[in-house]
Amino acid sequence: MKFGPGPRGYLGTIGQYALGSGASFGFFMMIGSCIRSDADRLSAQDRDALRKNMERWRAPASTPMAVYFARSAKA
């Protein structure tokens, strides 16, 4: 805004900038959503195989803090 707000005024200039930025953001979010939703097209067999492999690498659940503190209090 080196030369002032221009013919639209301050609010019009800022509004135009905000709408342009919002439109660009929405456009790229639309593209990203389309790309991401494309992964939902797995067959049932592929989905089951993926789930089984994920189960194999899942870390065991850690001990809850309440149990840990109850054990240390008894000791």
Read off the pLDDT of residues 64-73 as tens digits, 9 standing for 90 and up.
666 666 666 6
**pLDDT attached to residue 6:** 77
Q: Mean pLDDT across the chain, nearest whole number? A: 78
User: Distance of CA 12 to CAs 1, 3, 23, Å?
Assistant: 13, 15, 16
pLDDT > 90: what percent of the chain?
Answer: 17
Cut 0.75: pTM above it: no
Residue 29 predicted with pLDDT over 90: yes
